[in-house]
Structure 1
Amino acid sequence: MAPTELHASDPQPLANWWQPRRLSEQGCWHLGIGPLSIYLERTQGEWLVGQQRHPDSELLHQVVQQPLEARPDDITFQRYVFRKAPLDFCLQPRLMDRAVVVKTRQPVFIPPGESINFYISTPLCVRLLLGSQVQLQEWPVLRLSDTWFGPSTRIGELCYAAKTHARHSLDEVPLRPHRAVTPLTISNQDKSILSIDKVSLPVPLLSLFERSDHTLWTEAVTLVHQAEQPLAKFKIERKLPLGIQASQRISEPREQVEKNALVRAFAGIFSD
């Protein structure tokens, strides 16, 4: 895809901010993606790159693209030097590099033989690419807390803890430019009731897709709980859910999933 020339724009609720673009040598370009602002400046032989995060919640649903006469003085810029600086850049959305643990609004009880559907949104990372895919930096849009997910300090894995909820209805999911939505099915194939208060979503195993309205989605995921099994069967559906049409794949998984994979997915499990 040919790079797009940059022009000033008003804040947009949703926009395909990941398209390749061309930056002139005049002034500084500001791109605000939810709470993350990225500042870019190019000269003949270098790129200057800066970033900051905004706590203002009013910015969370907006994409801002605008030229600035000069780069901000209160931001530290990193300098990348080239014999001849590339003209084009691309800000590529990526899923997080660890599983993300989300809490349900309250403990969820799934009777034997039942399945439930959730929609989980997780924050993105943004990767800066120049020219022919020269990667300069990658930033998480939100700084998430580390959390250990497992029954003990010896068994489990290091994950991110996200301040979000597993939504039961798609209508309840706020669509934001810095998050991706994963349709999740949890199936209880045990003979006992399954209780869940946290779910670990292995986002490094998932791809990222753009829907026609410029929202970002992953494939649908199914987690199957079986009797006396601390790990869940993990299945990636190779198509998006009914009613969700993706125009293109934006990024590949960070890791490849094994066939018939088992993952540590649930916390707060007990039998009744």
Structure 2
Amino acid sequence: MSITIMNNETPWWGEVNLDKERCLQLDIGPLSVAIEHDAHEWRIHSQREKEVDTNDNRLHKIVGQFSPCYYQDVARYIVNSSSNHIQLLPALADRSVVCRPVAPINLDAGASVTLYVSTPIYLMINVVNSKTSLLQELATQRLSDTWFGPSTCSGELCYASATSGRLDLQKLPYRIQRATTPLLIHNNADDNLLFERVALPTPLLSLYAAKNGQLWTENITLTREDNGDFAQLKLGKAPLKMSFVNGPRKNIGHSQIIRAFSAIFN
């Protein structure tokens, strides 16, 4: 059995050559995945460990000849490809993720605030040949559904995150299975803005990696100009001294007017 040792200079994602009758096991936070390459198929075994603390930065990656066992779920894939190469790729959620500040925030007219929020990543498992084919996508943490909007007739279906947003980046715990986003809010309107929840538009964001392997997104700026629901959403540039990992699921450009405070805040 060969073992890939993870360290600060070796990201867990990327391409892996997995010959037939070999297996790759990846444990990241509460998610455990084993990928088998057989003569005619790929088998993906997965489970989320209930006894593993989501605050524990568990990361193990092993490649060798062994049979995975004790997994809750297994999926089998037969593909039109003889490739031995698979790609492990982190991605952000396919819906907005609702996070909460530690306590509700009252933002005075003319004031600004930066909130740091983290959201769980997904694991994309691809077969790489002349083109990349997605086999399976798994959330590192199971997220519950939540409705976000002023009423049941107006709003959007989101995911709910158990982690709070922080005003102080140093107080936001580092989690190997989460990506951090700086959210800058400008209240240029004449009235105060009170918000208790933030719905982060994760499908619009890209992923970047710091040298220590921590995942980040570009920053987001929301600017409220009038005493109403609309604000300008602007995506920032790529973080400095970080490497690009994965792009957005949806592309809206760098700026857009949205109904921010009925859809983003509630």
Q: TM-score, normalised by structure 2?
A: 0.89
Q: How does 1:211-250 map to 2 (within 5 A)?
A: 211-240=210-239, 244-247=240-243, 249-250=244-245
Moved more, 176-185 or 82-91: 82-91
Aligned to 2:43: 48
1:201-228 Cα offsets, whole Å, 9 max, x none, are 1111111111122111111101122332
Identity rate of aligned residues, in percent? Answer: 33
1:66 to 62, 68, 72: 62
Q: Retained in 2: the 8 A contact 1:14–1:61?
A: no
1:96-146 Cα offsets, whole Å, 9 max, x none, are 001111111111111111111111100111110012311111111111111
Aligned to 1:34: 29
- Residue 167 (str. 1) matches residue 166 (str. 2): yes
Distance 1:166 1:224, change over 3 A: same
Q: Secondary structure at the match of 2:174?
A: coil
Q: Retained in 2: the 8 A contact 1:103–1:199?
A: yes
- Residue 260 (str. 1) matches residue 256 (str. 2): yes
Q: Retained in 1: the 8 A contact 2:20–2:38?
A: yes
2: CA distance, partners of 1:26 / 1:111: 62
Q: How does 1:67-82 map to 2 (within 5 A)?
A: 67=63, 69-82=66-79
1: CA distance, partners of 2:234 / 2:54: 36
Aligned to 1:97: 94
Q: Secondary structure at the match of 1:8?
A: strand
Q: How does 1:128-207 map to 2 (within 5 A)?
A: 128-132=125-129, 133-207=132-206
- Residue 57 (str. 1) matches residue 53 (str. 2): yes
Aligned to 1:270: none
Q: Retained in 2: the 8 A contact 1:232–1:265?
A: no
| Structure 2 unpaired stretches of 5+ | none
How many residue pairs get matched?
258
Q: Retained in 2: the 8 A contact 1:12–1:63?
A: no
Distance 1:163 1:83, change over 3 A: closer
| Structure 1 unpaired stretches of 5+ | 1-5, 268-272
1:170-226 Cα offsets, whole Å, 9 max, x none, are 211222221111011011112222211111111111111111221111111011223
- Residue 86 (str. 1) matches residue 83 (str. 2): yes
Q: How far is the alpha carbon of 1:75 from its aligned partner?
A: 3.7
Q: Provide the alpha-carbon RMSD of the alignment.
A: 2.2
Amino acid at match of 2:94: D
